[in-house]
A and B are shown apart, each in its own frame.
Chain A
Amino acid sequence: MTSEVAVVGMVLLPLLAALPAVVWPRQGKHFAAVGLVATWVCLTVLWIQLWQGPVSVVLGSWPVPLGIAWAVDGARAALLTLAGAVMTAVLIYARKEFALVHQPEPTSQKGREKLLGQRRQAESFWPLMLLLWTGLNLVVVTDDLFNAYVGLELVSLSAVAVVALAGNAEALSASLRYLAYALMGSLWYLLGVTLLYGQHATLDVGLLSQAAWSTPTDILALAIITVGLFIKTALFPFHAWLPSAHASAPAAGSAVLSALVPKVAFLLILKIWLDAGAAAASPAALNVLGVLGAMAVVYGSLLALRQERLKLLIAWSTVAQIGYLFFVFPLAGGPAQEQPWSTDAWSGMWFQLVSHGLAKAAMFLCAGLWLQALGHDRITGLRGMVNYMPITVLAFGLAGVSLMGLPPSGGFAAKYLLLVAAFAAGQWWWAVVIVLGGLLAALYLYRPLAAAMSRPETPPELKPVAAGWQCLPLLLALTAALLGLASAWPFEALQIGRPDWQEGPL
């Protein structure tokens, strides 16, 4: 009973906090704080329950397939925890980014309009973030493909609105381009889901996994769903919307957009290919997924090297880092699911997902603080930051260590596990891409770090930022590092609810 309330609460509480934040926008940050604390209570209860085994709820006691099942196992709880951690940092940080400084009422018309715009931006941010969180948690817990569609739409539409918040021409075109891609992705997904329903008369992942996936319509539906989700995950070559959208959003929004939003669409690809449609997953198709991931790693990293603005660099790095996740398909999908190395590949993918989320959120928050201090985010303008904001430079460096996959960090654990699996499977070519991607990450992160640590010719004009705010990204980056230092416990926790998992305390 407690566990069922906790699962439902994970989705319902952010939603319940979002509604009054829409009605009373001035109080948005207080509702956000209450929602945050309440959701963390649920999450804690959920982890305690998970100790005894995976948790599931059948909503309204309507049996599947008419009803909808929600479930949480170790891996999904890891994603819920990542979302909670990033949301916590972002919602605290947003109090700084959207703080309205008390100033005399501007006399000019233009000044008044600007103040009004700032106020609207600040007030819209809180409900949007809470709705986005609702959608994220819904996609994570649900076992029903149409229910997941609703969650995915909630995530996409709130994310598009977050991108548009700044209200200038650049942000508006970025958000419209994002919206066009997101709508196309969701229509493809919906079309595939429709075809699947026509074939199997159910959309429950568990029931679909027992169905025979043999007809051409099944394969067509699988392909259409996958393309739709590729667009939402921004997998190469469907990534065109991501960099401009993530760079135009306010830094607090970018952190969530980069760390969490593509991950839930990826989770659906994972559910479809490793679970619901595992019967149709041929090695050739799984290799195509892996190759697209490899191309994303190389292409995203090369483009990140060429960026002059820090937020664009971080956004292109997201395109690259998402690519690693797709190595799980050739290494742990289809026939390889029975192989001994599949657990390593699968766990490595989850380490990558969580540690990239933490590191990327830390980087965007650093970029946001530097943007506030300097007024711009040109990489060459970061010279000497180590003297003025050393804590953020340390956070950025630590996050970078995780992205490069250097020990000790979550990124290292991820790449180590993936490498082990690649060699055990005899598919050494993935290992080459993993190592190459790490080298390229070191190259593109060298430029902002080198700039920050160099001596400036003239001291930059800075608005001071209190050390407390700088600690937020540091905490996120430290957590990413900690994932590598103490990787045994998270590794065990991920296995809760996997087929070969032994019930009982860890």
Chain B
Amino acid sequence: MSASWYAVVASALVAVGLYGFIVQRHILRRVMAFNVMGSGIFLLLGTMARRGDPLTDPVPQALVITGIVVALAATALAVALLIVHARVTSRAALAEDDE
């Protein structure tokens, strides 16, 4: 399959993730949307690596691995906060009372 196909899928993932992040109120769904959008970006990085045909550029792959670690840490923190928040307030969404 061609690199541009991967790029299209990556863009679609980014778009779906962004939409979910903005529209969803449930915090867990927002965390998932963050991960979908992140996966789209990682796929895009992978596509960048493929363009060096016939040799594959190794740098984007290193970036993806680092990015996954960062995303994992962020997800873990978000889920931990979400659990404590749910325990204290018995709510799964933020009270949107922006000052």
Report A-chain residues with C-beta under 8 Å of the C-beta of B27.
Answer: 176
A157-B77, A183-B78, A197-B45 as given contacts; A169 in contact with B89, CB under 8 Å: yes
Whether B48 contacts A150 by the Cβ 8 Å rule is no
Whether A187 contacts B85 by the Cβ 8 Å rule is no
Number of interface residues of B (CB under 8 A): 34
Q: In whole angstroms, what is the CA distance A195 to B30 when docked?
A: 24
Q: How many A-B pairs fall under 8 Å by CB?
A: 87
Least distance between B67 CB and chain A CB atoms (Å)? 7
Whether A176 contacts B70 by the Cβ 8 Å rule is no
Whether A172 contacts B48 by the Cβ 8 Å rule is no
**Closest chain A residue, CB of each to CB of B87:** A172
A146-B66, A172-B84, A172-B89 as given contacts; A66 in contact with B74, CB under 8 Å: no
**Stretch in A160-168, A205-213, A483-491 touching the partner:** A160-168
Q: In whole angstroms, what is the CA distance A457 to B66 when docked?
A: 60
Say whether A366 faces chain B, with CB atoms less than 8 Å apart: no
Whether A198 contacts B48 by the Cβ 8 Å rule is yes
Report A-chain residues with C-beta under 8 Å of the C-beta of B55.
Answer: none
Say whether B1 faces chain A, with CB atoms less than 8 Å apart: no
**Closest chain B residue, CB of each to CB of A316:** B99
Residue in A150, A177, A187, A243 whose beta carbon sits within 8 Å of that of B66 in the complex:
A150
Say whether B8 faces chain A, with CB atoms less than 8 Å apart: no
Say whether B9 faces chain A, with CB atoms less than 8 Å apart: no
Least distance between A114 CB and chain B CB atoms (Å)? 14
Q: In whole angstroms, what is the CA distance A201 to B73 when docked?
A: 27
A187-B41, A194-B45, A197-B63 as given contacts; A175 in contact with B81, CB under 8 Å: yes
Whether A191 contacts B88 by the Cβ 8 Å rule is no
- Interface-central residue, A157, A160, A175, A194, by most chain B CB under 10 Å: A194
Report B-chain residues with C-beta under 8 Å of the C-beta of A177.
Answer: 94
Q: Which of B24-65 contact A (CB under 8 A)?
A: 27, 30, 34, 37-38, 41, 44-45, 48, 51, 57, 59-60, 63
Residue in A179, A194, A195, A244 whose beta carbon sits within 8 Å of that of B77 in the complex:
A179
Whether A176 contacts B34 by the Cβ 8 Å rule is no
Least distance between A148 CB and chain B CB atoms (Å)? 12
Report A-chain residues with C-beta under 8 Å of the C-beta of B48.
Answer: 194, 197-198
Least distance between B34 CB and chain A CB atoms (Å)? 5
Report A-chain residues with C-beta under 8 Å of the C-beta of B37.
Answer: 187
Least distance between B46 CB and chain A CB atoms (Å)? 10
Say whether A336 faces chain B, with CB atoms less than 8 Å apart: no
Whether B70 contacts A150 by the Cβ 8 Å rule is yes
Q: Which of A194-239 contact B (CB under 8 A)?
A: 194-195, 197-198, 201
Least distance between B91 CB and chain A CB atoms (Å)? 9
Name the prevailing secondary structure of the A interface residues. helix
Whether B78 contacts A179 by the Cβ 8 Å rule is yes
Report A-chain residues with C-beta under 8 Å of the C-beta of B44.
Answer: 191, 194-195, 198
Report A-chain residues with C-beta under 8 Å of the C-beta of B95.
Answer: 173
Report A-chain residues with C-beta under 8 Å of the C-beta of B84.
Answer: 164, 167, 172
Least distance between B11 CB and chain A CB atoms (Å)? 10
Report B-chain residues with C-beta under 8 Å of the C-beta of A4.
Answer: none
Residue in A66, A153, A180 whose beta carbon sits within 8 Å of that of B70 in the complex:
A153
Residue in A150, A194, A198 whose beta carbon sits within 8 Å of that of B51 in the complex:
A198
Whether B81 contacts A179 by the Cβ 8 Å rule is yes
Least distance between B49 CB and chain A CB atoms (Å)? 9
A153-B74, A157-B73 as given contacts; A243 in contact with B99, CB under 8 Å: yes
Q: In whole angstroms, what is the CA distance A179 to B21 when docked?
A: 12
Residue in A167, A184, A197 whose beta carbon sits within 8 Å of that of B21 in the complex:
A184
Whether A153 contacts B63 by the Cβ 8 Å rule is no
Report B-chain residues with C-beta under 8 Å of the C-beta of A164.
Answer: 81, 84
Report A-chain residues with C-beta under 8 Å of the C-beta of B74.
Answer: 153, 157, 179, 183, 186
Report B-chain residues with C-beta under 8 Å of the C-beta of A149.
Answer: 70
Say whether A302 faces chain B, with CB atoms less than 8 Å apart: no
Q: In whole angstroms, what is the CA distance A194 to B39 when docked?
A: 13
Least distance between B64 CB and chain A CB atoms (Å)? 10
**Closest chain A residue, CB of each to CB of B77:** A157
- Pick the 8 closest A-B CB pairs, nearest first: A172-B85, A198-B48, A153-B70, A169-B89, A169-B88, A183-B34, A194-B45, A191-B41
**18 CB < 8 A contacts A-B:** A160-B77, A161-B77, A164-B84, A173-B85, A175-B81, A176-B81, A180-B30, A180-B94, A183-B78, A187-B38, A187-B41, A190-B38, A191-B44, A194-B41, A194-B44, A197-B45, A197-B59, A198-B44
Taking A176-B94, A184-B21, A197-B45 as known contacts, 20 extra A-B pairs with beta carbons closer than 8 A to each other, sorted by chain A number, are: A149-B70, A150-B66, A161-B77, A167-B84, A167-B88, A169-B89, A172-B84, A173-B85, A179-B77, A179-B81, A180-B30, A183-B74, A186-B70, A187-B38, A190-B38, A194-B60, A194-B63, A198-B48, A240-B98, A243-B99
